[in-house]
Amino acid sequence: MPTQAPTVARRNAQNVQQPQNGQQRSVMPVPFCRAARRKSGQAYQDTYVLGASVVTARPIEIPASGFIRYVDMLFSLAITGNGATVTVPTGTFSFPWNLIASIQVTNAAGDSICVPLTGYELYLINKYGGTRQSPNCDPYNDPQYVAATAGAGATAGSFAFRLQFPFEIDPRDAFCALPNMASNKSYQIIIQWNAISTIYAGFVAPTGTATLSLTVDQHYWAQPQPSNSEGVPQETEPQGNGSVSLFRRQSDTVSAGGRVLQLYNVGNVIRWGAFYLQSSAANNPRSDADFPALAYLRLNNDQLFLKRKAAWQSEMRERYGFGTAAATRDAAGLLDTGVYVLSDYMAQHEQVTVDGPRDQFLVTVDATLYQFEAAVFGATASLFTLLQNEIKPNSAAALYSLNVV
């Protein structure tokens, strides 16, 4: 008869070594994600008045807790006393995410977990980064998203949205959750807000008073005790503790025609990337028309992927579940103009999930030659950016092991 898969109880029993010669038996420790408890709490709340210039918030310290999974941020811009007939920018101008001029996360030593990101890039991380389940991870679809109001009303121009900054990339084994238990070694979030005229660039901005409310909550694993109430040992930290998920960016000025771009952010393990192209039109909207119809990804002069633009769009719809019509973009549940996501490294099962396999993550070293070849950029192509998620594991075992029983 076929062999039956062992139950959890049977596996635990198999892990018990029976006493021999008076020696005490030993048991396998309870895995971290079973012993630890997920928790959350408020980390920060404040208001700011936005105006004609960039506003820098004071550094936001994440209170000591356990192992940080992610921080959840609610941004709410309230306009009062507006006297203009406000017009709302279209999706290709990265509104309303361009409320955030830059956001950066650093540790106590001042080392960056990510380069300074724009608000639109943080939006891309939330939507395409694979740390929240698609298609429900679309920030446009969030119940707390409030579209900007147009017109001449006193509150016209107000809007709200929610974004997360992820640290953990896999909730099954808390991989890349960051230890945060020392109150004198806090992680910090540093944010700058754009001027109102920049947020509404190219359109009619609201007048009056613009008050921004920010609420930050942290979600974390509480550190378990070394043993439970029955004396069974427990893991007190995730496997691979010390592994870090990083975000880096590369932007290149491009023009019409073919081009081979060397991608310089190598040396770590690449999990995914998002390419987006802006045109030379006023205020640099994102552009599909100028994105190359044919492109190649090469590794050490060996071709990794052939990417035809139309097939790439189909691939993103299939892997993420976004988009109902090829020509529709920049709204809830849809793809984004000029954005092409390289999800091949984490979509091993042809679908992006929050706990997908890591076998196809791209391991690179400092000497790796990584290139993007565009057959032809369009006539008004201007700025080409790669936003990339990389893993710095503390070991190969940490990268490929999953704490699953």
DSSP labels, 327-362: T-BSSTTSB-TTEEEE-TTT-TTSS--TT---TT-E
Question: If pLDDT is split at 50, 70 and 90, which confidence band does 328 have?
Answer: confident
CB 299 within 8 A of CB 390: no
Per-residue confidence (pLDDT) for residue 369, from 0 to 100: 98
For the cut 60, the answer to whether the pLDDT of residue 97 exceeds it is yes
Per-residue confidence (pLDDT) for residue 324, from 0 to 100: 64
The per-residue pLDDT of the chain, averaged, comes to: 90
pLDDT tens by residue, 202-245: 999 999 999 999 999 999 999 999 999 988 999 999 989 999 99
Question: If pLDDT is split at 50, 70 and 90, which confidence band does 115 have?
Answer: confident
For the cut 90, the answer to whether the pLDDT of residue 327 exceeds it is no
Among 31-45, 121-135, 153-167, 171-185, where is mean pLDDT lowest? 171-185
- Count Cβ atoms within 10 A of the Cβ of residue 129 and give its class: 0-12 exposed, 13-18 middle, 19 or more buried: buried
Give the type of residue at 236: T
For the cut 90, the answer to whether the pLDDT of residue 41 exceeds it is yes
Q: Which residues are paired to 179 by β-bridges?
A: 67
Give Rg (Cα) of the chain. 24
For the cut 70, the answer to whether the pLDDT of residue 255 exceeds it is yes
For the cut 70, the answer to whether the pLDDT of residue 22 exceeds it is no
Per-residue confidence (pLDDT) for residue 367, from 0 to 100: 97
Q: Which residues are paired to 112 by β-bridges?
A: 106
Separation between Cα atoms, residue 77 and residue 213, nearest integer Å:
6
For the cut 70, the answer to whether the pLDDT of residue 13 exceeds it is no
DSSP state of 97: G
Which domains, ranges and CATH numbers included, belong to the chain?
A: 33-222 (2.70.9.30), 244-400 (2.60.120.20)
Q: pTM of the prediction? A: 0.91
Separation between Cα atoms, residue 262 and residue 369, nearest integer Å:
7
Contacts of residue 193, Cβ cutoff 8 Å, sequence gap at least 6: 48, 50, 54, 55, 56, 57, 99, 100, 101, 212
For the cut 50, the answer to whether the pLDDT of residue 16 exceeds it is no
CB 168 within 8 A of CB 177: yes
Per-residue confidence (pLDDT) for residue 24, from 0 to 100: 56
Per-residue confidence (pLDDT) for residue 320, from 0 to 100: 94
Which residue shows structure tokens 């709340």?
Answer: 45
Per-residue confidence (pLDDT) for residue 14, from 0 to 100: 43
Closest CA to 356 of 223, 173, 150: 173
DSSP labels, 59-74: PEEPPP-SEEEEEEEE
- Count Cβ atoms within 10 A of the Cβ of residue 149 and give its class: 0-12 exposed, 13-18 middle, 19 or more buried: middle
Per-residue confidence (pLDDT) for residue 7, from 0 to 100: 40
Question: If pLDDT is split at 50, 70 and 90, which confidence band does 185 have?
Answer: confident
pLDDT > 70 in the chain, percent: 92
Residue 208 dihedral angles phi and psi, to the nearest 5°: 85, -150
Per-residue confidence (pLDDT) for residue 404, from 0 to 100: 47
Among 108-112, 186-190, 319-323, 396-400, where is mean pLDDT lowest? 108-112
Greater model confidence, 201 or 15: 201
For the cut 70, the answer to whether the pLDDT of residue 6 exceeds it is no
Q: Which residues are paired to 136 by β-bridges?
A: none
Per-residue confidence (pLDDT) for residue 323, from 0 to 100: 79
Our CA angle for 331, 336, 338, nearest 5°, is: 150
Greater model confidence, 386 or 184: 386
As a whole number, mean pLDDT of residues 329-357 equals: 92
Per-residue confidence (pLDDT) for residue 48, from 0 to 100: 95
Task: Residue count of the chain, please give it.
Answer: 405
As a whole number, mean pLDDT of residues 129-139 equals: 90
Per-residue confidence (pLDDT) for residue 325, from 0 to 100: 64
Among 10-19, 262-271, 303-312, where is mean pLDDT lowest? 10-19
CB 82 within 8 A of CB 201: no
